[in-house]
Amino acid sequence: MKNKITSALSKELIISAIENIPMKQKLITAVSTIPFIAATTMSGSCATSCPYGMVNDPYPGQCPRYTDITGDGICDLSQATAAAATDTSSTSTDDTTTTTTDSGNGHGANADTTIQDQSADPNAATIPDSTVLDSGNLHLDTTNYYVLPVTIMLIGGYLFTHYLFNKGILKRNKHRRIWNLLVTAGYLGTGVTGILLTIMINLGIRTALNPSITYWHAEMAILMVIGTMIHIHLYWKPFKNMFRVLFGIKSNLKKKTKVKGHPSDVL
Amino acid sequence: MVYDIIMPALPFIGGYLFTYGLYRIDLIKKALHINIWNLIIGLTFLISAGAGFVLLLLMEFGVALPISPQLLYGHVELGISLVLVTVFHFHTYWKSSKTMFVQVKKRSKT
C-alpha cells in the first residue's frame, strides 16, 4: 500500500500529469484560486482593524468609523492589533484587568463607567476582552456601496438619452440639461454630505445618522464621477480647446478682440 | 486628527480673485481665466475622486495600505477645495447654469 502511494506520488508522474493539462485549464485553475487565497488572507486582517490602516487614531478620529468602547480616547479599530498584543502578554503575568465602557460620544475623557475586575484565576481575564471587541461598530465594514450596479445604470441611462438625441426625439438642450442637473445633484450631494461629515468629525459629533451620511456620500460620489465623465463627453470640444488655450503656442495676452456669446460656446 | 477647512480653501479663493481681477482689468482673456479654472477643477476632481475611489476599493477588499491614512487626509482636504472650485465653476458659467433650472424665454417674432 505504501509503495503504491509513493509510486503514485512520484515526482516524474506529477510532472507529466501537470504537463498533460492544457494551458487554458491551468490558467483557469490558477485564477479560480485567487478569491480563496484573498479570502483566507483578508478575513483575519480586516476583522478588527482600521479599514484605513491607521494606528492609534486619537479623538475625534480621522473618519466617521471612530469607535471608542474602551474609553481611552483612541479609536478601538486603530489599536486593535496593539491591544490584542498587550492583552496576551498581560494575561500571563497580571491577575487584574480593567474594562472601561463609554456610552457617550465615544470621547475618552467622558468615560461613564469603569469596572475593576479582580480575579484570582488568571484564565478568567481573557474572556471579557473578546466581548469588548465584538461589540464594536464593525458591521460598517460590510456596507455595500453598489458601485457597479449604479455605474451600469447611469451609463445605460446616458446611452439611452444619447440614442434619443441622435434620433431627434430629444433636443440637444434637453439632453444636456438632464445630465447637467444630474451632475449638479451629484456634486451637491457629495459636497454637502462631505462637509457635514468633516464638521461632525472635527467636532466629535456621533449620531445614528453617521453611517447613512457616509453611505449617501459614497453613492452621490458615484453619480458625481460618472456624471463628470458624461459632462466631459457632452462638452468635448470646449474640453479639447482648454488644452489648446492653456498649452498651445497661441499668445494668451489680451488683444483687441472681444469674445461674444456664451463662454461654453466659444471655449 | 482635525481637518483644516479654512487653510485649503484660502489659496483657491485668492487665486480665483486674482485671475478674475486680471480678466476684469483686461490683462488676460476671459478664455484664459475660464480655462485655468476648468483645468484646476479637473485636477482637483481627479485627485480627490481618485483617492476616494482607491479608498473605496481598498475598503471593499479589506486591504489597509500604509499610505491609506494620508490618502484619506488628502481626499478630505482636496474635497473641501473641490466644493469651493465647483462654486467658482457655477460662477463662471452662471448664465447657462440658470437655464438649467429656469426655462429660457423665447423671443416672439413680431
Distance from CA of A199 to the nearest CA of B (A): 9
- From A227, A219, A221, select the one nearest A191 (Cα to Cα): A221
In the numeric block, the cell 485671475 is attached to B19
The answer to whether A263 contacts B73, with C-beta atoms less than 8 Å apart, is no
Summarised one tens digit per residue, pLDDT across range A174-224 is 999 999 999 999 999 999 999 999 999 888 888 888 889 999 999 999 999
User: Is it the case that residue A253 has pLDDT exceeding 60?
Assistant: no
pLDDT at A75 over 90: no
**Could you give the angle at the alpha carbon of B66 between the alpha carbons of A83 and B47, nearest 5°?**
135
A104 half-sphere exposure, CB direction, 13 A CA radius: 14
For residues A69 and A136, which has the higher predicted lDDT (pLDDT)? Answer: A69
From chain B, the residues in CB contact with A187 under 8 A are 86
Q: Do A50 and B73 touch (CB under 8 A)?
A: no
Higher-scoring residue by pLDDT: B36, A266: B36
Share of chain B above pLDDT 70, in %: 93
CB B77 within 8 A of CB B85: no
Interface check A227 vs B, CB under 8 A: no
Residue A101's pLDDT band (boundaries 50, 70, 90)?
very low
Q: Does B60 touch chain A (CB under 8 A)?
A: yes
Q: Which of B23, B100, B105 to substitute to test the interface with A, most A CBs within 10 Å? A: B100
High-pLDDT (> 70) share of chain A, %: 48
User: Residues of B with CB below 8 A from A226's CB?
Assistant: none
Write down the pLDDT at residue A50.
74
SS3 call for A126? helix
Mutate to test the interface with A, among B5, B20, B29 (most CBs of A within 10 A): B29
Q: Where do the H-state alpha helices sit in chain A?
A: 2-8, 11-20, 23-45, 80-93, 126-134, 147-166, 172-203, 210-234, 236-247, 263-266
User: What average pLDDT does range A83-108 have in this prediction?
Assistant: 42
Q: Residue A101's beta-bridge partner residues?
A: A113
**What is the model's pLDDT at position A206?**
84
Q: Does B58 sit within 8 Å of A46, measured CB to CB?
A: no
Please, which residues 80-139 of chain A have a Cβ atom closer than 8 Å to chain B?
none
Q: What is the pLDDT of residues B70-90, one digit of tens each?
A: 899 999 999 999 999 999 999
pLDDT band (50, 70, 90) for residue B104: low
| CB contact (8 A) between residue A218 and residue B56 | yes
Closest in B64, B79, B100 to A49, CB measured: B64
Most confident of A141-150, B22-31, B101-110: B22-31
**A152 or A257: whose pLDDT is higher?**
A152
Among the partner-chain residues B30, B52, B80, the one whose CB lies closest to the CB of A221 is B52
How confident is the prediction for chain A on average, in pLDDT?
A: 68
Greater confidence (A101 vs A78) lies with: A78
Contact: B76, A198; criterion CB under 8 Å: yes
3-state helix, strand, coil in chain B (%, to 5): 75, 0, 25
Kindly report, residue by residue over A134-187, the tens digit of the pLDDT: 333 434 455 788 888 999 999 999 999 999 999 999 999 999 999 999 999 999
Does B80 lie at the interface with A, CB-CB under 8 angstroms? yes
Report DSSP state, residue A146.
-
Cα of A262 to nearest chain B Cα, Å? 8
